[in-house]
């Protein structure tokens, strides 16, 4: 195949794109026309994928005749050529409010008076034309070069969301245009199936939708869960006369076509901008990918006044979001050791701006992921960064892989301590199990000092690393007996910085129990679990004394966390750390959340019957706000039963059997205020 190279600059990319188009044209002909392919389907797909990746990294390279713009790589035996009755035009693009204003100003030259605009999510799929005659779907075609596309009727007929018939009264002939796409959930499910079959994974939902639509066998397309959004009516003979685009959309909806529910009509470009900003921020809340917003003039008479240029209408514009996928060079794959010893492979990348940020590293999750994606140092890879999600390496661009590039192997030894890495049967993660591994130690102490835990300013990962290497820190309790004189002598430290660090360490001693629990790096115990535990038990000593069953009984804890916490505190070394933390004066007590005294911590109060002063929900909320639980049945762990009018007989009987006190509303009020039961001693 072609000599691989990595297109770093726009010029290199252009050259490579041209080369790819030639290659694709050649192989399309071999496959579709001569029926004697020279390369595998996967290799062919890789060429198209690479071109698509290049075009997404350098959008200016997209041309109407690019094979990425016509599904199937070329019209031939598999897909008959279809000439569109009217061209399927593309859209002018903008990426800023200024350009949007310039578009508005240009429009004003053609139309006067107010202009209403529809704003529509720009679905990242494939533009498709559906022709209905006498209400029946007779032909479906891809956009192709806009003038000629490929007939994909049999494949499109398998798409459940596309009606095969339009209900009467239908126009004699009508062409419906819209976007075929693959939902993100369907894409992920498809990729897991592909991985199980050892088949090629798709890079993104658009690529998967295209691959699914270009199947020679419609039965394969039928398994692919494609979706459709209609956004336009092309030619129409007979049928309603629309005056507005929104009327068209309404008709489409009534005729059984899915129309995007987020389409809005606005009156100003400022509102358009608001809409664009909203969807740029919320795009990941959708189960399909959108790459921008399409803005269209709603009034069809105004559209006619505006007309079109040679390639695009003047009455519409696409506002494009910054791309979330780019290709770049994978320089190396390294493994980092986390605080639990977990070994996580990550990619060192030639830095690239993607999703609005410069990305030089990206996670590869675990050994299986690297294996499934088969990315190798030296590959050109597709990098994705979507929203706040950590950047990820999606796939290699196989067409650009240098010959003989060796497969990457997960290291057998911990890169920090050199001890063997262990992967347990049935688990996806690999671990360094050496408890003395300095890599783990640094991570554990840095995590202890991090914001969600003990929040010790000036004690970040780098500083912790410096102290661990100098032998000043071995575990988290050492933080409170840090030899400050030794620190003062270290490079980069002076009186002021040491004093600041000392103050930060001192301040951390009064963090709530939940923060301390988070800081201890107990497996499976996250922030929420730590908060629930802290609230339920109120003091570390009560957690130390609790059995796994008692912890698991707390709502929101569960057996996995409970067992892990129990195991953690069963270890002498961990107990010893706790004792040193205690001796150092670190707070071990629970929170008073929301300022509400936690007088019912760890206690369980059942409510039955109708109360006068509160609804049942309010009563239960009052109990949980004070740290208690309010289950629906009485057990031996129940502290008291609050009894209103028409109480449940079973609950009363159970309470009597177990000797659980019954409270009226006044006694309940006292319990909520003080945590005391009637007759109990204060305190
Ligand atoms: S209208 C002449 N509306 O974006 C107007 N296009 O370059 C034709 N697209 O190829 C397009 N969502 O595949 C329109 N709501 C939407 C769209 C949409 C996605 C795609 C379409 C077209 C490309 C524009």
Quick one: average pLDDT of 288-305?
96
For ligand 1, atom 18: residue with the closest CA? 122
298 ligand 1 Cβ < 6 A: no
Give the active site residues: 122
Q: Ligand 1: does its nearest atom lie under 6 Å from the Cβ of 473?
A: no
Give yes or no for a contact between 339 and 428, defined as CB atoms under 8 angstroms apart.
no
What pLDDT band is residue 31 in, cutting at 50, 70 and 90? low
Residue 122 CA, ligand 1 centroid: distance in Å: 6
Token output for 265: 């009509």
307-322 mean pLDDT: 91
* Ligand 1 atom closest to Cα of residue 93: 7
* Residue 587: per-residue pLDDT: 95
Judged by average pLDDT, the poorest of 107-116, 389-398, 544-553 is 389-398
CA–CA distance, 639 with 606 (Å, rounded to integer): 8
pLDDT digits (tens, 9 = 90+) for 381-428: 989 988 777 899 988 888 789 999 999 999 999 999 999 999 988 888
Mean pLDDT of 63-92: 71
Residue with CA closest to ligand 1 atom 21: 127
The CB of 179 under 6 Å from ligand 1? The reply is: yes
- CA 285 to CA 389: how far, in whole Å? 13
- pLDDT of 598 above 70: no
153 and 140 in contact (C-beta within 8 Å)? Answer: yes
- When pLDDT is averaged across residues 445-470 and rounded to a whole number, the result is 94
If phi over 0 gives left and psi between -120 and 50 gives alpha, with beta otherwise, what is residue 33?
alpha
Cα of 109 from ligand 1 centre, angstroms: 24
CA of 314 relative to ligand 1 center, distance in Å: 14
DSSP letters, 456-487, are -TT--HHHHHHHHHTTS-SSGGGGGG--HHHH
157-211 pLDDT tens trace: 999 999 999 999 999 999 999 999 999 999 999 998 988 888 878 888 988 998 8
Which letter, b or e, does each residue of 256-280 get, where b requires 16 or more Cβ atoms within 10 Å of its Cβ?
ebebbeebeebeebeebbebbeebb
User: Residue 231: CB within 6 Å of ligand 1?
Assistant: yes
Q: From the CB of 318, is ligand 1 less than 6 Å away?
A: yes
Average pLDDT, the chain: 89
Which contacts of 37-44 are long-range, i.e. CB under 8 A and separated by 24 or more positions?
A: 39/1, 42/200, 42/398, 43/1, 43/398, 43/399, 44/73
Q: Which of 31-40, 96-105, 413-422, 603-612 has the lowest mean pLDDT?
A: 31-40
Looking at the chain, the whole-number percentage of residues with pLDDT higher than 70 is: 93
- HSE at residue 49, side-chain half, CA atoms within 13 A, is 28
Residue 116 pLDDT greater than 90, yes or no: yes
Nearest CA to ligand 1 atom 4: 122
pLDDT band with cut points at 50, 70 and 90 for residue 74: very low
| CB 408, CB 370: distance < 8 Å | yes
Predicted confidence at residue 541, as pLDDT, reads: 94
Most informative mutation of 127, 142, 275 for ligand 1 (most atoms within 8 A of CB): 127
CA of 176 to the centre of ligand 1 (A): 13
- Ligand 1 nearest atom to the CA of residue 91, by list position: 7
Residues 219-230, mean pLDDT to the nearest whole number: 95
CA of 88 from ligand 1 middle (Å) equals 9
Burial track 141-174 (b if 16+ CB lie within 10 A, e otherwise): bbbbbbebbbbbbbbbebbebbbeebeeebbebb
The tokens for 352 are 């690239």
Q: Is 131 in the pocket of ligand 1 (CB under 6 A)?
A: no
Ligand 1 atom, smallest distance to 126 CA: 13
Choose among 93, 153, 139, 138: nearest CA to 276.
Answer: 93
Ligand 1 within 6 A of CB of 313? yes
pLDDT of residue 204: 86
Residue 25 scores a pLDDT above 90? no
Say yes or no: CB of residue 124 within 6 Å of ligand 1.
Answer: no
Residue 177 Cα to ligand 1 midpoint, Å, equals 9
- Residue ranges of domains in the chain, CATH in brackets: 10-69 (1.10.287.610), 89-320 (3.30.470.30), 325-402 (2.40.50.140), 438-508 (1.10.150.20), 513-583 (1.10.150.20), 604-674 (3.40.50.10190)
Look at residues 245, 251, 242 and name the one whose alpha carbon lies nearest to residue 294: 245
- Report whether residue 245 contacts ligand 1, using a CB cutoff of 6 Å: no
pLDDT tens-digit series, residues 365-389? 999 989 988 999 999 998 998 877 7
How confident is the model over 621-677, as pLDDT tens digits? 888 877 788 888 999 889 999 999 999 998 999 999 999 999 999 899 889 888 888
| Whole-number pLDDT of residue 4 | 41
Of 179, 181, 206, 275, the one to substitute when testing ligand 1's pocket (max ligand atoms within 8 A of C-beta) is 179
Q: Is the CB of 251 under 6 A from ligand 1?
A: no
Distances (CA, A) of 43 to 28, 366, 406: 12, 26, 18
Average pLDDT over residues 487-503: 96
Helix (H) or strand (E) holding 380: strand 380-384
Q: Is the pLDDT of residue 236 over 90?
A: yes
Cα–Cα distance measured from residue 511 to residue 519, given in angstroms and rounded to the nearest whole number? 11
How far apart are alpha carbons 81 and 99 in whole angstroms? Answer: 37
For residue 296, report the distance from its CA to the centre of ligand 1, in Å. 10
């Amino acid at each position: 195949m072609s000599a691989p190279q990595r297109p770093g600059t726009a010029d290199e990319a252009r050259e490579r794109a041209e080369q790819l188009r030639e290659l694709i044209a050649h192989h399309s002909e071999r496959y579709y026309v001569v029926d004697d392919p020279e390369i595998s389907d996967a290799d062919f797909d890789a060429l198209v994928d690479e071109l698509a990746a290049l075009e997404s990294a350098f959008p200016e390279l997209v041309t109407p005749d690019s094979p990425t713009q016509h599904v199937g790589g070329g019209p031939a035996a598999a897909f008959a050529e279809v000439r569109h009755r009217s061209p399927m035009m593309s859209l002018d693009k903008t990426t800023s409010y200024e350009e949007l204003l310039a578009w508005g100003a240009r429009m004003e030259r053609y139309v006067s008076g107010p202009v209403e605009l529809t704003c529509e999510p720009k679905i990242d799929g494939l533009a498709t034309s559906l022709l209905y005659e006498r209400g029946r779907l007779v032909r479906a075609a891809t956009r192709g070069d806009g003038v000629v596309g490929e007939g994909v009727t049999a494949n499109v007929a398998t798409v459940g969301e596309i009606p095969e018939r339009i209900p009467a009264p239908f126009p004699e002939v009508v062409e419906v245009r819209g976007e075929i796409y693959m939902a993100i959930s369907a894409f992920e499910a498809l990729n897991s199936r592909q991985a199980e079959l050892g088949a090629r994974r798709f890079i993104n939902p658009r690529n998967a939708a295209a691959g699914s639509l270009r199947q020679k066998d419609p039965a394969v397309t039928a398994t692919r869960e494609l979706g459709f959004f209609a956004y336009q009516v092309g030619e129409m003979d007979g049928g309603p006369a629309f005056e507005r685009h929104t009327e068209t959309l309404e008709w489409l909806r009534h005729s059984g076509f899915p129309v995007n529910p987020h389409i809005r009509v606005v009156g100003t470009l400022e509102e358009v901008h608001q809409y664009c900003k909203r969807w740029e921020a919320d795009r990941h809340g959708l189960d399909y990918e959108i790459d921008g917003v399409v803005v269209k003039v709603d009034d069809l008479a105004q559209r006619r006044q505006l007309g079109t240029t040679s390639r695009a209408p003047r009455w519409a514009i696409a506002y494009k979001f910054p791309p979330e996928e780019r290709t770049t060079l994978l320089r190396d794959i390294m493994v980092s050791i986390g605080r639990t010893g977990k070994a996580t492979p990550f990619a060192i990348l030639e830095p690239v701006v993607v999703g609005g940020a410069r990305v030089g590293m990206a996670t590869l999750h675990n050994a299986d992921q690297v294996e499934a994606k088969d990315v190798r140092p030296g590959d050109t890879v597709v990098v994705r960064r979507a929203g706040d999600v950590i950047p990820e390496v999606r796939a290699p661009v196989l067409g650009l892989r240098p010959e003989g590039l060796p497969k990457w192997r997960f290291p057998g030894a911990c890169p920090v301590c050199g001890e063997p890495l262990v992967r347990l049967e049935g688990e996806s993660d690999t671990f360094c199990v050496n408890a003395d591994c300095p890599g783990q130690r640094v991570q554990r102490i840095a995590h202890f000092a991090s914001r969600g835990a003990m929040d010790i300013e000036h004690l970040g990962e780098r500083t912790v690393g410096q102290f661990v290497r100098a032998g000043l820190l071995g575990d988290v309790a050492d933080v409170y007996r840090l030899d400050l004189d030794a620190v003062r002598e270290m490079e980069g430290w002076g009186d002021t910085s040491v004093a600041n660090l000392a103050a930060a360490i001192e301040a951390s001693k009064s963090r709530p129990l939940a923060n301390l629990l988070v800081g201890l790096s107990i497996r499976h115990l996250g922030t929420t679990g730590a908060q629930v535990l802290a609230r339920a038990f109120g003091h570390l000593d009560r957690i130390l004394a609790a059995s796994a069953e008692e912890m698991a009984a707390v709502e929101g804890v569960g057996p996995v966390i409970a067992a892990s916490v129990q195991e953690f505190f069963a270890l002498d070394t961990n107990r010893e750390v706790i004792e040193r933390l205690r001796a150092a004066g670190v707070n071990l007590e629970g929170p008073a959340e929301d300022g509400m005294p936690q007088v019912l911590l760890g206690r369980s109060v059942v409510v039955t019957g109708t109360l006068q002063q509160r609804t049942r929900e309010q009563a239960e909320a009052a109990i949980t706000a004070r740290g208690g639980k309010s289950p629906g049945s009485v057990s031996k762990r129940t502290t008291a039963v609050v009894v209103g009018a028409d109480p449940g007989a079973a609950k009363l009987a159970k309470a009597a059997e177990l000797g659980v006190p019954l409270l009226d509303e006044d006694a309940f009020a006292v319990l909520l205020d003080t945590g005391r039961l009637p007759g109990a001693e204060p305190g």
